[in-house]
């Protein structure tokens, strides 16, 4: 958990602005802001996928020691952005727009390059008298393209003040550098460098059909004809070869599509069209998509039938096993679902999304102690996410441990950017923990941290 905030003005132009610890803290504050202003898709398989491809690129970047966190924003608009501390968000709309994995990778590599080349801090340095909480709030608002009052008072004030002193229009030089550095990263990571100019061109063209609304991505990263041709010339240096997509890319896009198309008829039509023309693997993945839509429609028998066949044909594909288990859950067959997860976890013990889905299934099946055990063991070597905190809160509450239930709920709210709700939960936890000295002390300390943060923010608002 983060310490109380004592951060310098960003406008400090002495050069090195942050210690690594401060940068991490700034990044986490930014992420909480993003969560309070937009919906992050916390589906374990979707977040694992974006994290996997992102970390692969990051490991091949100019600064492999820089830490990164990748996440998907549930938003049909075309956008991707790099915040402080290596926090990189990509909208589901952009993932669906990428027809090849290398296209998605090219945007991520470009954003990674903005981070490793410190472009964000260069533009931040131009601004004066901005404290880190203000900057985090404002960056969230600017990069997400939101003007919502939820952005918070500090963000709005800062936005007005920032109109003259602060902009995230990367300069033309920044963009060129991010393209060329990003392309090196792309190639070192075994993705197609040519996907970068072709995807930027596609983005620019899509803009024509969308009417007056410029995709947010093009607002913060202006794509011009000359930039595309420069990038294309740069890509020509690399030898031609085949860059097959991973199955995970196609599966995740299918899942996103099944999730985002609200009209199940339209989704069904889309997947049936793929069945008529795709390769065998594409057809099988379209069948998976159809099954996901059928689960939504409560046609669980049909979904189970399709998914059982897919699991038999692709026993190594954990996404299919998980979908089959979800179909069993939707049909109320919890024991079958739990058995599937148990088998799968024996086979793939390191698979994080299977573990999280299994924990959720245990909760639904009325076995909160199993959920508690699975997640507590997992947290010994991994970081909590809002989703994990929420599951633990529910598990503890069901187990009759109110104090821990409120404590985890507080962490859930805190990471969702809702400090006041978090403070309320901690106060409830403190009441429930009466008589437990150790737990009370821990809760009290955390309460102090959050109240200090809240106090600092209120002062910020006044300024
Ligand atoms: Zn850019």
Known active-site residue 179: yes
- In this structure, are strands 80-82 and 69-73 parallel, antiparallel, or unpaired? unpaired
> Residue 267 has which token pair?
């989704």
| 76 secondary structure, DSSP code | S
DSSP string, 365-412: TT-HHHHHHHHHHHHTTS---HHHHHHHHHHHHHTT-HHHHHHHHHHH
Known binding-site positions: 110, 114, 175
Report the separation in Å between the CA atom of 153 and the middle of ligand 1, taken as the mean of its atom positions: 28
Residues 198-234 as b or e (16 or more Cβ within 10 Å = b): bbbbbbbeebeeeeeeebbbbebbebeeebbebbbeb
Q: What is the pLDDT of residues 267-289, one digit of tens each?
A: 999 999 999 998 999 999 999 99
pLDDT at 282: 94
Q: Which residues contact 350 (CB under 8 A, 6 or more apart)?
A: none
Neighbours of ion ligand 1 (CB under 5 A): 170, 175, 178, 221
Residues 385, 388: Cα–Cα separation, whole Å: 5
Measured in Å, residue 256 CA sits from the centre of ligand 1 at: 25
Placement of tokens 């990038």 in the chain:
231
Q: What residue ranges of the chain are covered by domains with CATH 1.25.40.10?
A: 246-331
- Contacts with 175 (C-beta within 8 Å, 6 or more apart), sequence order: 221, 222, 227
Cα 408 to Cα 35, 356, 362, 380, 418: the distances in Å are 17, 16, 18, 16, 14
Distance CA 45, CA 22 (A): 30
Sheet with 87-91, side-by-side order of all strands: 69-73, 87-91, 80-82
Chain segment 249-267, per-residue pLDDT in tens: 999 999 999 988 888 889 9
Residue 360's closest CA among 329, 339, 391, 383?
Answer: 391
**Nearest CA among 180, 143, 199, 231 for reference residue 61:** 180
Residue 231 CB partners (closer than 8 Å, separation 6+): 179, 183, 196, 197, 200
Binding residues for Zn(2+): 110, 114, 175
Contact 168/113 with Cβ under 8 angstroms?
no
DSSP string, 257-268: HHHH---HHHHH
Q: Supply the pLDDT for residue 208.
A: 64
Residue ranges in the chain whose pLDDT is less than 70: 1-17, 122-132, 145-169, 207-214, 460-463
Q: How many angstroms is it from 172 CA to the middle of ligand 1?
A: 9
Catalytic residue among 45, 179, 453, 460: 179
User: What would be the CATH architecture of the domain defined by 246-331?
Assistant: Alpha Horseshoe (1.25)
DSSP letters spanning 152-166: -HHHHHHHHHHHHH-
Is 312 exposed, middle or buried, given 0-12, 13-18 or 19+ CB atoms closer than 10 A? Answer: exposed
Residue 55 C-alpha to ligand 1 middle, in angstroms? 19
Catalytic residue among 100, 111, 284, 411: 111
Distances (CA, A) of 170 to 123, 184, 265, 340: 8, 20, 41, 49
User: pLDDT tens-digit profile of 79-122?
Assistant: 899 988 999 999 999 999 999 999 999 999 999 999 998 887 76
Instruction: Record the pTM.
Output: 0.89
Residue-level pLDDT at 120: 78
Phi, psi of 9 (to 5 degrees): -65, 140
| Per-residue model confidence as pLDDT tens digits over 293-332 | 999 999 999 999 999 999 999 999 999 999 999 999 999 9
Find the 283 Cα to ligand 1 centroid distance in Å: 35
What pLDDT score was predicted for residue 377?
95
């Amino acid at each position: 958990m983060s310490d109380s905030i004592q951060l310098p003005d960003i406008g400090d132009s002495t050069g090195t602005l942050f210690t690594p610890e401060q940068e991490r803290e700034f990044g986490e504050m930014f992420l909480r802001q993003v969560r309070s202003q937009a919906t992050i898709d916390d589906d374990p398989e979707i977040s694992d996928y974006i994290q996997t491809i992102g970390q692969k690129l990051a490991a091949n970047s100019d600064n492999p020691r820089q830490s990164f966190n990748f996440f998907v924003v549930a938003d049909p608009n075309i956008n991707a952005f790099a915040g402080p501390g290596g926090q990189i968000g990509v909208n589901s709309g952009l993932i669906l727009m990428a027809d090849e994995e290398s296209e998605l990778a090219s945007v991520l590599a470009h954003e990674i390059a903005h981070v490793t080349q410190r472009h964000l801090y260069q533009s931040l340095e131009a601004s004066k008298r901005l404290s880190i909480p203000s900057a985090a709030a404002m960056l969230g608002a600017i990069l997400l393209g939101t003007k919502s009052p939820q952005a918070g008072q500090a963000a709005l004030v800062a936005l007005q003040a920032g109109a003259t002193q602060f902009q995230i229009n990367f300069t033309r030089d920044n963009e060129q550098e991010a393209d060329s550095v990003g392309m090196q990263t792309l190639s070192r990571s075994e993705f197609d460098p040519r996907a970068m100019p072709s995807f930027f061109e596609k983005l620019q063209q899509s803009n024509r059909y969308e009417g007056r609304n410029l995709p947010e991505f093009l607002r913060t990263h202006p794509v011009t004809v000359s930039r595309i041709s420069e990038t294309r010339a740069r890509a020509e240096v690399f030898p031609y070869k085949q860059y097959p997509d991973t199955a995970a890319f196609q599966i995740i896009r299918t899942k996103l599509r099944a999730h985002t198309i609200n009209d199940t008829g339209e989704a069904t039509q889309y997947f049936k069209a793929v069945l008529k023309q795709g390769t065998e693997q594409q057809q099988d993945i379209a069948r998976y998509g159809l099954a996901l839509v059928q689960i939504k429609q409560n046609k669980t028998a049909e979904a189970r039938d399709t998914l059982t066949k897919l699991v038999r044909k692709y026993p190594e594909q954990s996404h299919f096993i998980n979908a089959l288990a979800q179909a069993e859950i939707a049909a109320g067959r919890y024991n079958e679902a739990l058995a599937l997860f148990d088998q799968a976890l024996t086979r793939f013990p390191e698979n994080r999304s299977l573990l999280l889905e299994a924990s959720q299934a245990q909760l639904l099946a009325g076995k909160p102690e199993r959920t508690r055990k699975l997640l507590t063991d997992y947290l010994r070597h991994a970081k909590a996410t809002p989703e994990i905190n929420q599951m633990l809160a529910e598990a503890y509450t069901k187990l009759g441990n109110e104090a821990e239930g409120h404590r985890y709920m507080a962490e859930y709210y805190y990471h969702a950017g809702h400090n006041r709700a978090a403070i309320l939960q901690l106060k409830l936890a403190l009441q429930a923990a009466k008589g437990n000295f150790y737990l009370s002390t821990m809760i009290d300390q955390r309460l102090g941290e959050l109240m200090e943060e809240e106090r600092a923010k209120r002062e910020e608002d006044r300024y």
